[in-house]
Amino acid sequence: MSLSIHRPTIAQVLHQSYSGVSATDTRMLLQGVLDVGHAHLITHPDQVLTPDQEQKFNSFISRRINGEPIAYLVGEREFYSLRFEVTPAVLIPRLETELLVDQALERIPARGPSKVLDLGTGSGAVAIAIAKHRPFASITAVDFSDGALIIARMNAKYHDATNVCIVAGDWYTGVAGEEFDLIVSNPPYVADGDPHLGQGDLRFEPRTALVAGTDGLDCVRRIIDSAEDHLIRGGWLLLEHGYDQAEACCQLLRGAGFGEVFSCSDLAGVMRVSGGKRGSFLAQSC
């Protein structure tokens, strides 16, 4: 007599409780295993998982219990309503970084040529989001990490972002002699020794994409100090930074001769992006 093995259905998986894993995490992991959207889970509650799917899902649950980020487990993250492939070679795109894209789009003409530079592109999320919303702009995306360059190029190809050029370089070394209308960057800005590095997703993300010296501003300083050589007169420099770094970033921008220096808050009310304009000396807030 053979024994019948009952495979779980979508509904059963979603109603199961897993220690330390939220219902939202469970849903996202299951979507990743089945390669479907949320609507499919709702409309196909009686679908039975195959043995391979069940094994993969259980593996994901175990790894999530150990703290691995959802994005790395399923291999993707949504950013600016676009899907991006991510691996542990790149920083996970975050909602607050969408503010950097918003600020960039405000300063790029919708129907005219513009040269944009994205420094430390990682997955390419910022550069590609800008490219899809400003098809007449030419975006150069730079990163020094071979692993990041592979992911960024894959994402650019996936989104058919033909106006994005991805190059290897350590900040400005990949664009020597070039000038741009706008420079954007989400650089490393966490201070070495910050306790947050041992918490949550940060434990699994590339340290080189996170840490920037004792005060977290080493990379910001390098970007600001050399920006004038790569910006046209009247061009903008926009930087994402830490929750408590807006004032310091603005001081660095003013000290480098930038005008119209400003800081903007994200949806959580945290000052998250600062910037300035080359050759202008007016102050403003956002």
Buried b (16+ CB within 10 A) or exposed e, 56-83: bbeebbeebeeebbbbbbbebbebbebe
According to the model, what pLDDT value does residue 281 have?
A: 52
Regions of the chain with pLDDT less than 50:
1-4, 282-283, 285-286
Q: What pTM did the predictor assign?
A: 0.90
HSE, CB side, 13 Å, CA atoms: give it for residue 95: 6
Report the pLDDT value the prediction gives residue 280, as an integer from 0 to 100.
Answer: 59
Q: How far apart are CA 72 and CA 147, in angstroms?
A: 14
Helix, strand, coil shares, percent, the chain, to 5: 40, 20, 35
How far apart CA 117 and CA 202 sit, in angstroms, is 26
Residues 165-198: tens digit of each pLDDT:
999 999 999 999 999 999 999 999 999 988 888 8
**Residue extents of the structural domains in the chain:** 10-66, 94-278
Classify residue 104 by its DSSP letter.
Answer: H
CATH class of 94-278: alpha beta
Q: Which helix (H) or strand (E) holds 251?
A: helix 246-255
Find where tokens 């970007």 sit: 223
